[in-house]
Amino acid sequence: MSDKTSHDLILAELDIRADPFAICSLEGACSMGLDRTPGATLHYVLGGTGQVSLPGASAIDLAPGRLVLIPACVRHSLRNFGGGQTGLPACKPAGLDLAEHVVAGSGHGNMVVLCSHIDLSLRGTHGLIDLLRNPLVIDVSTSPTTRRAMQALISEMTRPRTGRRAMIRALLLQCMIEMLRARLEAGDPNVLWLGALADPGLWNALRAMLDDPGAPHSLERLADAAGMSRSRFAERFQNAYGRAPMTFLRELRLARAAQLLSEGRDPVKRIAQKVGFTSRSAFTRAFTEAWGQSPRGFRGGQG
C-alpha 47/C-alpha 112 separation (Å) is 5
Per DSSP (E only), the strands in the chain are 14-18, 22-34, 40-47, 50-53, 60-62, 66-70, 76-80, 99-104, 106-122, 136-139
* Nearest to 138, CA basis, from 216, 67, 192: 67
Domain 3-185 classified CATH 1.20.1050.10?
no
* Nearest to 36, CA basis, from 265, 283, 213, 299: 299
More confident residue, 89 or 11: 11
Domain spans, the chain = 3-185, 199-298
At residue 159, φ and ψ (nearest 5 deg) are -130, 120
Q: CB-based contacts of 270: which residues, under 8 Å, 6+ apart? A: none
Res. 44 pLDDT band, cuts 50 70 90: very high
- pLDDT tens for each residue of 274-288: 999 989 999 999 999
pLDDT reading at 66 higher than 60: yes
C-alpha 18/C-alpha 120 separation (Å) is 9
- pLDDT tens for each residue of 2-16: 556 566 767 777 888
C-alpha 167/C-alpha 155 separation (Å) is 11
More confident residue, 24 or 130: 24
C-alpha 85/C-alpha 48 separation (Å) is 6
Residues 72-75: contacts with CB under 8 Å, at least 24 apart: 72/36, 72/37, 72/38, 72/39, 72/40, 72/129, 72/130, 72/132, 72/255, 72/258, 72/259, 73/36, 73/37, 73/38, 73/255, 73/258, 73/259, 73/262, 74/36, 74/41, 75/33, 75/34, 75/35, 75/36
For the residues 62-85, what does the mean pLDDT come to?
85
pLDDT reading at 290 higher than 70: yes
C-alpha 141/C-alpha 66 separation (Å) is 8
pLDDT reading at 35 higher than 80: no
C-alpha 88/C-alpha 110 separation (Å) is 7
**Contact between residue 132 and residue 39 where contact means Cβ atoms under 8 Å apart:** no
Res. 218 pLDDT band, cuts 50 70 90: very high
More confident residue, 95 or 40: 40
Res. 92 pLDDT band, cuts 50 70 90: low
More confident residue, 261 or 265: 261
Do 3-185 and 199-298 come out as alike in CATH topology?
no
- pLDDT tens for each residue of 145-203: 999 999 999 888 887 788 888 898 899 999 988 988 888 888 787 776 776 677 888 88
Res. 83 pLDDT band, cuts 50 70 90: low
For the residues 220-238, what does the mean pLDDT come to?
94
C-alpha 218/C-alpha 157 separation (Å) is 47
- The pLDDT assigned to 97 comes to 65
What pTM does this model have?
0.78
- The pLDDT assigned to 302 comes to 43
Protein fold of 199-298: Arc Repressor Mutant, subunit A (1.10.10)
